[in-house]
Amino acid sequence: MPEIRGGDSLWPILMEPDDIISVKEAMFRADLDHKAVRRLCKMHAIARQTGRSAPLQISGPAFEMVISGDMVALELLRANRRDHPRVQRYFDHLGISHLQARERKEKLGKRDHS
């Protein structure tokens, strides 16, 4: 599967609040130092930072895919194919329900239209 790119860079991973982990959590999961975690995040475009002094927010499922070497699942996630079995496997492993995120969005949408 080709990498999804916009111009010269990878498209960002869209994250729900339950998907986000910290650098410290990523360090623990992969037994890596903070520089290695940040390097992986930058190399695979699996994190975001809203400002220079803001904490790095890492996509937990994407990080698991990277440290597992599953680039096919990573590109499916990048294409927002959260329902694909190969992607869902990581969400299940981490105890994250993609359905909860969908239900939350639907509730917010209903609230906006009330």
Measured between alpha carbons, how far is 82 from 76 in angstroms, rounded to an integer?
A: 7
One-letter amino acid of 14: L
SS3 110: helix
- Domain containing residue 25: 5-112
pLDDT in tens, the chain (114 residues): 445 554 568 889 999 999 999 999 999 999 999 999 999 999 999 999 999 999 999 999 999 999 999 999 999 999 999 999 999 999 999 998 766 656 666 666 666 555
Name 98's Cβ contacts closer than 8 Å, sequence gap at least 6: 82, 83, 88, 91
Cβ atoms of 4 and 75 closer than 8 Å = yes
The dihedrals phi and psi of 86, each to the nearest 5 degrees, come to: -70, -35
State how many domains the chain has. Answer: 1
Q: Which H/E stretch holds residue 21?
A: strand 20-21
